[in-house]
Structures are given as C-alpha cells and as structure tokens.
Amino acid sequence: MIIGSAALDVKNSNDPMLFFSDNNIHRQKLEDYREVFGKSAATLIALDAGESGAPLHLLEAERYLSEILLDPEHPLYIDYLTALGSATATLPAIGYPTEFTPLEDVQFLAKEHPALSAYFFNADQSATMIILSLDHTDQSDPALITAYNEQMDLVMHMRDKYPTLQISIVGNITTFEAMREAFELDSRYLFPATAFVNFLVLLFAFGNLRVTLSVLVIAALSVLLTQGVAGWSGYVFAAGSASSFSIVFTLTVASLIHVVHAMGQRQRRLPFQRSYTIILSSFRKLTVPVTLAHLTTAVGFVSLNWADAPAFKAMGNLVAIGLVFSLLLSLLVAPIALKSKRTELVIRDDRIRATSRWFANAWAAAPIRNALIVSALSLAALTGLTRIVFDDQITNNFPSGHPLLINIDNIADAFGWSHSVDLVLRYGEGELIQPQAISDVETLVEWIKTQHPVGDVFSPIPLIQDCFDHRQPPFEGPLAEAPQKMLNYCVRTSGRSNDDSVGFFANDFTQLHLKIMLPRISAAGVRDLSAKVEAKTLEMGFTPQNATMSGVGVMSAYLSEVNTHNMLIGSALAMLVVSLLIGLFLRSPILAVLSILPNFLPAMSSLGLWVWINGEVGMAAAIIAAVTFGIVVDDTIHILYALARGKHTQSRAGIRKILRNVTPGVLTTTLALGLGFGILMFSGFEVNRQLGFLTSMTIFIAFIFDIFVLPGLYSLLKGRR
C-alpha cells in the first residue's frame, strides 16, 4: 500500500530531449545553436486565401494576428513567445512603421521587397506565414497541454473571425501533443484490450474463472507496485514509457501460466491430493525456472541502458523493477490467491493439452526435416536486414487522415515545405562581414535550393539585397563587389538575433544560421541531405566544427541508427549474462550456449520480416532485440529445464513425452503474450504498431523454434554434457 500509493503520481512528458543523451552529438549541436540564437521551438501558422496577389482580407487577418501576438495585454497573447516573424513584425525593420503603413501599401511592398516576399509569402502571394519562436521551459504534460490549448484557442479565434481563410498550424508543441493523445488512446483502449485478450486466453487454457482472475489480479498488483515506484521516484518519463506497465503485466501472467499448468498436471496424476498440497508442490517444482525466467528477462531489459536514449533506459529499468515485484508476488502471494477453502481447485486444460500433443507429435514425426524447414524460413526472413532503412521522422507515426498531417499538407501545398532543419556556419572575428563571405553564402544558398527535395532556404541574402536596393544610390552589382561600408551597414541592420524576428546572425557576427525548408520526407532523406550539405561546406573551406546541421528533425533522423548501433553491445552483453545464468541455474554449460540461438534469431527474423513487408523501421527497431530476448527466453528456460530433469531424452519418444508435459504452459504463454502484444498493431501510433508486430512475431517465431529446433539440438548435444 505504501509503494502503490504513488501510482497516480507518475510524471510523463513529450519533451523530445528525453530521447537523446547529454553526450549525443546531434543534441550537442542543437544545444550549441540554441545557446547562440536562443530559439528552442517554433510554431508555424499559415493563412491561405486561395487567391493570388496578397488580397486585402489575407493581409488584414495577418496584421490582426500579429497585433495579438505583439500585445502582452491581449487575452490570447502567448507569454512564452520569444520572437515573432511576420510581414507586420518585419515592416519596421525595412523602414515602414506599421501604424503608418496601410494594407494597400503592404500589397505593393510584398511584391517589391524581398525581405517580405522571400520569408512570409508564397510564390503567387495567395498565402502568408507567421513564425512563432517559443521557449516553453516547463515540458511536463500538464504544461504542454495548456500550451497546446492556448495555441488552438488562438487558431480557433482566427478561424471564427476569418472563415474564408484556410488556417493551419504546425510546430513542436502541436506535434508532441498529437503524440501524447496517441499514447493516451493506447492507454485507454489498447492496454485494457491486451488484458482482456489475456483473460480470454487464460480462461480457454485453464477453464477456471477463479484461477484466471487470480492470475490477472497478481499481474495487476505488479503493475500497481511498478507505477508506485515510478511515482515515488519523481522521474519524468517519456510518454511512450507507459508501455512498460503493460509489459510487466503480460510477463507476470506468463510466469504464472507455467505454474497453473503444473498444478493441473499434478492434479491429474495425484487426484487424491488436497488443493493446498498441489499448489505448494507445483510452486516448489517451478521456483527455479520461474526465478531464472524473471532474472533473465530483467537482464534483457536492463541492457537497454546501453541505448543512447534516456527514455529507453528509463523504460528498461522500470520493467526490471517491475519484474522484481512480479517475482515476489508470483512466489509469495500467488499461492495464497490461488488457494480457496470454498471451492476445489480444478484446472480444466484438456483443450490446450490436446493442441500441445499435436505439436509434440509433429516434432516427433520428422525432427530433422522440421528443424531444417524452420531454420531455412528464419534465415530467409533474416536476409531482410540487408535492406533495412531507419526512418524516425515523428510525423510518419500518424495515419494519413490525422489533423496534424492535414495541417502539414495544407502548408506544404501552399509553400512547398512544412518544416525546417538548420545549418550553422561559424566564422572568425570580422570574417563574416566581408563581401566575399556574403557572396559565398549566396552561392551556398543557391546550391542548397537545387538539392532535392529542398523547398526553400531562409537566409539573410534577401534582407541584405533589399537594403542595397533602397540605399541612395542603390547598389546593383554582385555581392562580392559590394562596398565594404555599405555591406557592413546592411549586414548589421539585417537579421540580427536581438533586434528583429529573423535572427540569422549571432550578436557578435561570428555565426550565421540558415533555415533549410523541407516537405515531409523520410529520416533517410534528412540524413542524406545533411551529409550532402556538410560535404559541400567542406569543399568551400569550412571545417566540420564550423559548419553543422542541426535541429530536432536532424536529431530524430539519427535516433534509431545511433541507438541500434549502441544496443548491439547491450544485447550482446545481455545474451552473455543470460547464458551464464542459465548455465549456473541448470548446471550445464551446453544448455547455456544452447539458449542463445532460439532467442536471438527469432527477434532478428521478425525484424527482417518487417523490412521485407514495409521496408522501413523506426524507434522500435532499436530496442526490439533486447526487449524480445528478455521475453522469449522464458519459454526456452522452461523447455530446457524440463529436458534437463527429464528421463530418456536420448530417444525421440522420451523427448515427445517431455514436450507433451511442458508445451501447454509454453503454448499458453505464447498465445497470451503474442496476442496481447499483437493488439498494439491496432494503435494509431506507428512506433507502437511496429513494436506490436515485432514483439508478437518474435514470440510466435520463438515458439516454433523452441518446439521444432531446440529439442533436436538438445538431443545432439546431450552426450557431450
């Protein structure tokens, strides 16, 4: 009760930084950028009139919205706004005070001034963009929900006031609020559906409602205690970490399934024994494999600490803590929960035993042939790993009809882009304010615009050119030949981060940042573009330290790739520790080695199968080996334990008899876990869909491996023990 009392105090956040460690190079680039330019997030609001030429009602709406965002006294003002980019906000920077510039003049200025047309209007001036730079320090769920509601209130107010305009909004807060809603829907519907599937499987397998409910109650208690620890810790978990609790639930159910089937087996053999004796004997018999299964599963999840993402580390540690509670509850509380003085303990598992006999007989009919077929199919699926492509763009996690994607597509249709990544160029003192340096920037910008699928590049060049055009006399030559004094003036009055909304230059003019505007593309596309741009800057004489690609989009593009490489080490260590534990508990080095193949290969085969079907994987791929290895090793342990304790295992008939006894528990566990995780494939969030598919397929493939491959390998190696 003390531990569980904090179960409702679990803190969650959609802060993207929870997926990147402090020493992640892409996070460091972003933090360096923020330290200089001070912009941590951006929200885009697009106003689309559907008719060209900057119509007056479009300009009226833009000015009205800008005035709201510039007025701290207005009820809809956003107090964490750090800078505003809009045509209205930029007018004073080009010499036209807003209060003295009528909308008719803005129509003319939008055509003649690059400082307006290049940044805030699309090509035919049928739509305008307002860019909000935000610095929301509180990244907790309640604070972000409030921030999202504030932004949506502003947008809904504009839609009501200007119904003829199409108004779209995208940004970090709206994106991560969509993520939170997706996870919340999963918690509300899919995770209870997982529990219901487990209920149906257990009821089918045991034929006893009281036993089924007792198992589910024990599993729910393990989740409650895990949530309590999470609440007491005060740690802020990524929203996706909520799946940790369903994992603890299903793993607790899996451990008790084997015990209940052992009770049914003993009941049939010794029908005269009392329920108390049957329960006590069954738990005594399976204490070793249950303890070993919990330990090895915990090791698999603890190996997530080798991931680069703090969110994955927290998830692994949380599940490992939950498994400690699961073990204590399974061994100390479950025997009491299963015993009843009012009713006799009756396990009606005839149906699951009949199915299990079919698998045992199928193995015995042709053990070598079946093993070869299963191995060949697994290896064929494994070849899909050669085609793997990591894609972690957050927007790819939502279905096509999601409001977030509709807004993104609306903006992309109007402007040719919907989000941005940043390029930061660093110079020595005084180098940037030189004609040749500005000319090189112009050359680089034009080159980037030619790269597919770049929609545009926001740079200070239009501002500088606008300044040249309106000097007396105007300068009309190439930038490399601009007069030093004129250039110095135009650079220092164009795009400085502390005095207008564009903010291209650092305050000391030693750094320049360009925004590369992109449509919705894959993570592979972002990585490819980043590599091309950084290679181009190397050709121009910049060092890798002085020309860096940055932004949340760039970080996300490398998320799975970085974590998967790190997790190779973690998974390898987990396999080593698990094998040592199996060898120690079962006192057999051969069984320790034998446990690796049927647990690692299914995870890789399911990942390869996903690649063959879909071609791209995201966040789930980074942790699938560690997560599923910890789950599927349980069934391997029970089979190896039964084979190690069994008699006549040198003969086909002896192994078939052992399989008939142990397979009911293994099959029920497979159905409960496989179907339970399979429910996640109905999630509205791509990460959960991938995790559901990969986990359930791994569990089913591992079951086939354990039944048709593992016994044959055991019999071959038994003589060498």
Q: Which of 303, 302, 194, 312 is nearest to 253 (CA)?
A: 194
Give me the phi and psi of 83, to 5 degrees please.
-160, 155
Band of pLDDT at residue 219, cut at 50, 70 and 90: very high
- In sequence order, which ranges of 450-522 are alpha helices (DSSP H)? 461-469, 484-492
Place of tokens 């559906």: 193
Q: What are phi and psi of 133, to 5 degrees?
A: -95, 125
* 238 and 97, same domain (yes or no): no
> What pLDDT score was predicted for residue 576?
81
Residue pair 505/497 in contact (Cβ under 8 Å)? The answer is: yes
- C-alpha 175/C-alpha 180 separation (Å) is 9
Residue 720 has pLDDT above 50, yes or no: no
**The tokens of 425 are what?**
């160029």
Residue 400 lies in a domain: no
Q: Can you tell me which residue has the tokens 């208690």?
A: 221
Which of 159, 176, 193 represents a domain boundary (last residue)? 176
Task: Tell me which of 176, 204, 237 is where a domain ends.
Answer: 176
Look at residue 94 in the predicted model and tell me its pLDDT: 76
What is the secondary structure of 39-82 as a DSSP string? Answer: --EEEEEEEE-SSSS--HHHHHHHHHHHHHHH-TTSTT--TTEE
Average pLDDT score over residue span 98-118: 86
Mean pLDDT for 244-256 is 85
Q: Is the pLDDT of residue 658 over 70?
A: yes
Which pLDDT score, from 0 to 100, does residue 497 have? 39
Neighbours of 390 (CB within 10 A): 22
The CATH number given to whatever domain includes residue 91 is 3.30.70.360
| CA 443, 449, 452, 456 torsion-angle sign | positive
Residue 501 scores a pLDDT above 50: no
Average pLDDT over residues 636-659: 79
Both 484 and 336 in a single domain? no
Mean pLDDT in residue range 592-602: 75
Q: What's residue 32's pLDDT?
A: 79
pLDDT at 500: 40
Is residue 399, in this structure, part of any structural domain at all?
no
Q: What is the pLDDT of residue 537?
A: 94
The 10s digit of each residue's pLDDT in 520-540 is: 887 778 889 999 999 999 999
Token code pair at residue 29: 């680039």
- 203 inside domain: yes
- In angstroms, what CA-CA distances link 456 with 48, 52, 610, 612? 18, 19, 35, 35
Looking at the predicted structure, is the pLDDT value of residue 47 above 90? Answer: yes
Regarding whether 278 and 202 lie in a shared domain, the answer is: yes
The predicted model gives 173-202 an average pLDDT of 81
In angstroms, the CA 349 to CA 123 distance is: 71
- Rounded to whole angstroms, the Cα distance separating 672 from 664 reads 12
Domain hosting residue 208, numbered range = 177-392+558-720
3-state DSSP assignment of residue 517: strand
Are residues 508 and 453 part of one domain? yes
> What's the confidence (pLDDT) of residue 580?
83
Q: In which band, very low, low, confident or very high, does the pLDDT at 240 lie, cut at 50, 70 and 90? A: low
Q: 23 phi and psi, to 5 degrees?
A: -95, 10
Q: What is the mean pLDDT of the chain?
A: 83
User: Could you give phi then psi for residue 56, rounded to 5 degrees?
Assistant: -60, -40
- What average pLDDT does range 108-126 have in this prediction? 86
Q: Are 584 and 709 in a shared domain?
A: yes
At residue 434, the 3 state secondary structure works out as coil
Q: How far apart are CA 659 and CA 361, in angstroms?
A: 9
Contact 699, 680 (CB under 8 A): no
Provide mean pLDDT across the span 637-660. Answer: 79
Mean pLDDT lowest among 8-17, 48-57, 300-309, 421-430: 8-17
pLDDT digit string, tens, across residues 660-688: 888 888 899 899 888 888 888 887 667 77
Does residue 415 sit in the same domain as residue 564? no
Contact between 576 and 306 under an 8 Å Cβ cutoff? The reply is: no
Closest CA to 691 of 610, 633, 624, 642: 624
The answer to whether residue 81 sits within a structural domain is yes
* Cα–Cα distance measured from residue 435 to residue 485, given in angstroms and rounded to the nearest whole number: 10
The yes-or-no verdict on residue 340 having pLDDT over 90 is no
228 close to 3: Cβ distance less than 8 angstroms: yes
Overall average pLDDT of the 547-559 stretch: 82
**Is the pLDDT confidence value at 250 over 80?**
yes
In a domain, 371, yes or no: yes
Kindly state whether residue 406 falls inside one of the protein's structural domains.
no
Other beta carbons within 10 angstroms of residue 547's beta carbon come to: 20
Structural domain ending residue among the three candidates 537, 557, 577: 557
pLDDT for residue 268 is more than 90: no
- Confidence grade of residue 542 (pLDDT, cut at 50, 70, 90): very high
Strands (E), 662-719: none
Residue 403 lies in a domain: no
pLDDT per position as a tens digit, 504-514: 888 888 899 89
CA 467 to chain centre: 45
Nearest to 200 by CA among 343, 351, 342, 345: 351
User: Does 24 have pLDDT greater than 80?
Assistant: no
Is residue 177 pLDDT above 90, yes or no?
Answer: no
Percent of the chain with pLDDT over 70: 92
Q: Average pLDDT for residues 196-206, to the nearest whole number? A: 89
Range 447-464 average pLDDT = 90
Examine the pLDDT at 487 and tell me if it is beyond 50: yes
Using left for φ > 0, alpha for ψ between -120 and 50, and beta otherwise, residue 95 falls in: left
Mean pLDDT to the nearest integer, 122-146: 83
Nearest CA to 527 among 566, 560, 494?
560
Q: How far apart are CA 428 and CA 72, in angstroms?
A: 38
Residue 40 has pLDDT above 60, yes or no: no
Q: How many C-beta neighbours within 10 Å does residue 469 have?
A: 14
Q: Are residues 483 and 500 in the same domain?
A: yes
Tell me, yes or no, whether 584 lies in a domain. Answer: yes
207/154 same-domain check: no
Separation in Å, CA 103 to CA 91, 219, 315, 655? 11, 66, 54, 87
Could you give the number of structural domains in the chain?
3
296 pLDDT exceeds 60?
Answer: yes
- Residue 228 pLDDT > 90, yes or no? yes
On whether both 360 and 473 belong to a single domain, the answer is: no
One domain, residues 372 and 511: no
d(CA 681, CA 614): 14
Give the residue, 426 or 603, on which the prediction is more confident: 426
pLDDT grade for 321, boundaries at 50, 70 and 90 = very high
CATH of the domain at 709: 1.20.1640.10
Question: Which range among 159-168, 229-238, 585-594, 616-625 has the greatest average pLDDT?
Answer: 159-168
Residues 516 and 571 in one domain: no
Q: Are 44 and 170 in contact (CB under 8 A)?
A: yes
For 539, residues 6+ apart whose C-beta sits below 8 A from its C-beta are none
d(CA 438, CA 435): 5
Least confident of 144-158, 211-225, 447-461, 678-692: 678-692
Greater confidence (140 vs 274) lies with 274
Residues 42 and 133 placed together within one structural domain of the fold: yes
Predicted pLDDT at 502:
47
